Amino acid sequence: MSAGFFSPDDLPSAPTPLDRQLRLGLEEAVGKYFYAYCDAITQVLLSKSDWHFSITEEALRLIINCQNREVYWQILGVIEQLGLCIQEIASEQAIIRVCPSDQKKHPLEIQVGEITAYWDWYEKRDS
């Protein structure tokens, strides 16, 4: 919907410092609940990475910055488990972004609801 249809009074106001503070508190709370839903192996892998949630108008996003290539591949190995944990607290619309340690490489970004379909295709391709 175009903003041109609304008068300026009907449009959302710019975020205030309180809005930003509340959003940061929500991101922190979501992170705590998510971590609690993860199994012990996934928690260990997350502890080897810099991770956080980002909440925007578009989606809830789990961002994982991997320290090295080994952790990157281990995180990819449990991405389905990560998706299941996110579904417990959010929705299939959430996004997981896994960033490799090499900044020249592109991060993997996948919607939680697409993980199963992606891995099914990936496993069939390798067999």
How far the first Cα of the chain sits from its last, in Å, is: 45
The pLDDT score that the predictor gives to residue 126 is: 54
Domains parsed from the chain with CATH numbers: 14-126 (3.30.300)
State the amino acid at position 117 in one-letter form.
Answer: A
CA angle 80, 85, 86 (to 5 degrees): 95
User: What distance in Å separates the CA atoms of residue 62 and residue 99, rounded to the nearest whole number?
Assistant: 11
State the amino acid at position 79 in one-letter form.
Answer: I
User: What distance in Å separates the CA atoms of residue 76 and residue 119, rounded to the nearest whole number?
Assistant: 10
Q: What are the two backbone dihedrals, phi and then psi, of residue 66, each rounded to the nearest 5 degrees? A: -85, 140
State the amino acid at position 6 in one-letter form.
Answer: F
Per the listing, tokens 């970004």 go with 109
The pLDDT score that the predictor gives to residue 2 is: 53
User: What distance in Å separates the CA atoms of residue 116 and residue 1, rounded to the nearest whole number?
Assistant: 32
Structure tokens at 121: 């295709």
Going residue by residue through the chain (127 aa), what tens digit of pLDDT does each one get?
455 677 777 777 787 888 889 889 999 999 999 999 999 999 999 999 999 999 988 889 999 999 999 999 999 999 999 999 998 888 888 999 999 988 778 899 999 988 877 666 555 555 5
According to DSSP, the β-strands at 49-55 and 108-111 are unpaired
Q: Tell me the whole-structure pTM to 2 decimals.
A: 0.80
User: What distance in Å separates the CA atoms of residue 36 and residue 79, rounded to the nearest whole number?
Assistant: 16
The pLDDT score that the predictor gives to residue 82 is: 94
